[in-house]
Structure 1
Amino acid sequence: MLRLSHIALFFAVSAVNAHAQDITYPVVDTMQDKCFDLLGDEVACPAKGDDLFGQDAQYSRVEASYTAQGDGTVLDNNTGLVWEKTPQDDRLQYSEALSYCSALELGGRDNWRVPSIKELYSLADNRGELLKPEQGEPTPYIDTEYFDFSYPKGHMAFAGQYWSSTLYVKGPVQNGRNQAAFGFNFADGHIKAYGTGLDFYTGAAATGGLTGEDGKAPGNYVRCVSGQEDVYGMNAFSDNGDGTVSDRATGLMWQKADDGTRREWKEALAYCEALDLGGYDDWRLPTSKALQSIVDYKRTSFPAIDTSVFTITEDNETLDFWTSTTFGDWKNYANVIAFGKALSKAGDQTEYSDWHGAGAQRSSIKTIVGQETTEDTTCSVNACDYNRSDNLVRCVR
């Protein structure tokens, strides 16, 4: 499979307001390098024009590239960000994570911080898979040639969640009052919002719900980052007036409005491959990282996208959009990005609630044809995700 060699990140930053900066950066590849059918079996990548063409592995993008600097840090050659190579082996409360990174001195740097969710997700390596012990050794969703990662001791193997600094601002999650911050799970390949231990409405310590007997939330791990803040992950959208939107920051062009049709994964791939819009016919279904790049995490209302330039045609609380990226753990599923509520339920709940937060990356079954689709197919010991096989589509080029 052909992939682009890595490119250096170019920052052209003016002295004006951050939102007016002329910033460019690449969306780093997911590194998924295999193709899969609807039932999750690995297959030879389809030819153009055949069913299931357009999967993540079939398009060349900016290949991940890192340099181990020999001082406990790793340079991302694409983004220019410098990362902590070996994270702390302890779960931290959100406030503790912020304090830990701000106090860190490593590699001659003292400007460490908790990364934003877009920065953190840039490290995701979608060749990962969390296998059951009888199936073999799991592979983390991070490049362990450069980054140290350990599956948690004393916890379930999938509990590899890492904090970001991105708070969920649209409302409380999980128990109805929890303030949350997004994180990425390098054990199981998901983005979700995790309770910070504070009450969303009052800012006081949360009680009940997901807090333990000590009154604390479970906490997450943290991998600190050093680099200019509010650069990677910014957007510079322009409406081209022809049904397309360009993001000058990433160099990607997007379909302005979805067509309002929900499709299974095969049809989603085919729809983008056949799209002729704005004088272009080289559209494709976006990868997980590409689609996550246009999430508006600062928007306080739904949907989680800049509605001054984009249109979501459905007025619905479940606004999951397909990506071309197969989910590593269950390969009959593909990743989706939630632009509406990311629904789940747990315990004695009878109704789904916004458990993971708009802007989460979850997964949906590719098709309901020929396989069991009971509700427990997307359940963990903590919660059961809402799952449907037909999702919305926004194409990219």
Structure 2
Amino acid sequence: MITIKSIIFKGFSLLLILVFSACSSDHNTSTEESIDNLPDVTGYPIVDTNQSLFFDEISTIIEPLLGSDYYGQDAQYMGNQPNYTDNGDGTLTDNVTGLMWQNSFDHNEDGSVDYDDKLAYDEILALVENGFTYAEHSDWRVPTIKELYSLIMFNGKDISGYEGTSTDGLTPFINTNFFNYAYGDLDAGERLIDVQCATTNLYVGSTFEEMVFGVNFADGRIKGYGTSLLGEDKAFNYLLVRGNSTYGENDFTDNNDGTITDNATGLMWMKNDNGEGVIWKDALSYAESSEYAGYNDWRLPNAKELQSIVDYTRSPQSTNSPAIDALFNATQIISETGQDDYPWYWSGTTHQTWVDENDGAWGVYVCFGRATGNMDGWVDVHGAGSQRSDPKTGDPSVYEEGHGPQGDGVRIYNYVRLVRDF
């Protein structure tokens, strides 16, 4: 069922969809078109998450009706649908963002995506600094975290905790119809989950090691990764990009009514958050019932919309602020580290897992304060600006020592910042 709210599009988003016939994530256009004719796209159009299923606090459900529990989640709001063109030369064009990408992680072109295709962080940067040419283009760059995150697809399933060796039936968080992708190289001593893809964004709040923000297409998260591992350079996956040099740059206007417009994305945000932590279901109902500044079409942002307003030049450590533009207000909290900090915010996106019986139990959030972990004591283990996931309901005290191999903080009661299209 298509709801009234799901057909409310911002003008330029609808124009992009019509122009590029973005009917599905598998859309392909003729490879005879000149690859130099990139779409004339500027600004920061956000690609939809590609999440089409509906979830309660455990697993998939039928589409919720207006006014019912769980209404207003990701799949009920259509955005700029993923739309790629395979250029037939090892590159593809994203017709929504105007970015051109390398479409394979097989960088040494030996026919296999494996550990030998990875490089140390400094080696990746040096590629473009030394004038890298590929597919007859020499203006490639290492992507920013916002450029790389544009590729994430939330029809993927997180493989955290998966102990098998076969990748049959696993679904990564990237469109494998267009990208030549592989999980981590078991033969080289990696785990399947070791698919950390580097960007140009270093965490400005790191106090114990240099951390670069990356996207992991195996577990569907943004984290800060140390550039060294056990005293040696860490090997990263990477994809280079070209085109639309303004992608990821916000253009905020304070509307002086408690709202902020991002002219680059076509989204309007509430200047303040909701002021308290709530479970995911209550975050949805809060959003759907909100009327503010003369608008009643506020909603919970999806993961990619929420990440779009992160300011990666700011952090609690470096600027004594949340990782967001100073135009916004954020409730101050005390985090697991015992320090003044800022909240994690729910999105309407569900973080699916490979465990089918409870594949919808975790919701995606973005850290605007420290991304804490218990590593023999609570520290900012992943960085403000990380995107992780929490159980949608439950007792946080069950996780008082953290969760997972890095002791990730688990709060369950997260904050809310609402958005609408304009």
- Fold shared per TM-score above 0.5: yes
Separation in 2, partners of 1:222, 1:124:
14
Separation in 2, partners of 1:145, 1:379:
31
The one-letter code sitting in structure 2 at the alignment partner of 1:367 is T
Q: Please give the residue correspondences for 1:164-313 in structure 2 after superposition, counting only pairs within 5 Å.
A: 164-172=199-207, 177-197=208-228, 211-212=229-230, 215-229=231-245, 231-299=246-314, 300-301=318-319, 302-307=321-326, 309-313=327-331
SS of structure 2 residue aligned to 1:384: coil
Q: Structure 1 regions of 5+ residues with no counterpart?
A: 12-22, 198-210
**Partner of 1:158 in structure 2?**
193
SS of structure 2 residue aligned to 1:178: coil
**TM-score, scaled to structure 1:** 0.85
The one-letter code sitting in structure 2 at the alignment partner of 1:258 is D
| CA deviation map 1:204-259 (0-9, x unaligned) | xxxxxxx32xx324231111111243x11111111111111100111100011012
**Partner of 1:128 in structure 2?**
156
Kindly indicate whether the alpha-carbon contact (under 8 Å) linking 1:318 and 1:343 is maintained by their aligned counterparts in 2. Answer: no
| CA deviation map 1:107-144 (0-9, x unaligned) | 21011111000000000011001443499621110001
**Partner of 1:25 in structure 2?**
44
Aligned length: 358
Separation in 1, partners of 2:399, 2:252:
40
The one-letter code sitting in structure 1 at the alignment partner of 2:289 is A
**TM-score, scaled to structure 2:** 0.80
CA apart distance, 1:100: 2.6
CA distance 1:91–1:376, shift in 2 (3 Å): farther
**Partner of 1:50 in structure 2?**
68
SS of structure 1 residue aligned to 2:276: coil
**Partner of 2:28 in structure 1?**
none
Separation in 1, partners of 2:274, 2:333:
13
Q: 1:96 aligns with which of 99, 102, 123?
A: 123
Kindly indicate whether the alpha-carbon contact (under 8 Å) linking 2:101 and 2:239 is maintained by their aligned counterparts in 1. Answer: yes
CA apart distance, 1:318: 4.9
Matched, 1:388 2:420: no
Separation in 2, partners of 1:284, 1:315:
24
Matched, 1:137 2:164: no
SS of structure 1 residue aligned to 2:235: coil
The one-letter code sitting in structure 1 at the alignment partner of 2:380 is D
CA apart distance, 1:374: 4.1
Q: Structure 2 regions of 5+ residues with no counterpart?
A: 7-13, 21-38, 108-113, 335-340, 354-358
Kindly indicate whether the alpha-carbon contact (under 8 Å) linking 2:103 and 2:180 is maintained by their aligned counterparts in 1. Answer: yes
Kindly indicate whether the alpha-carbon contact (under 8 Å) linking 1:287 and 1:323 is maintained by their aligned counterparts in 2. Answer: yes
The one-letter code sitting in structure 1 at the alignment partner of 2:378 is Y
Kindly indicate whether the alpha-carbon contact (under 8 Å) linking 1:7 and 1:77 is maintained by their aligned counterparts in 2. Answer: no
| Aligned CA-pair RMSD | 2.2
Matched, 1:84 2:102: yes
Kindly indicate whether the alpha-carbon contact (under 8 Å) linking 1:6 and 1:65 is maintained by their aligned counterparts in 2. Answer: no
Separation in 1, partners of 2:18, 2:312:
27
| CA deviation map 1:259-312 (0-9, x unaligned) | 2121100000011111101110000000000000000011242310012x1100
**Partner of 1:336 in structure 2?**
365
**Partner of 1:355 in structure 2?**
381
Deviation larger for 162-171 or 115-124: 162-171
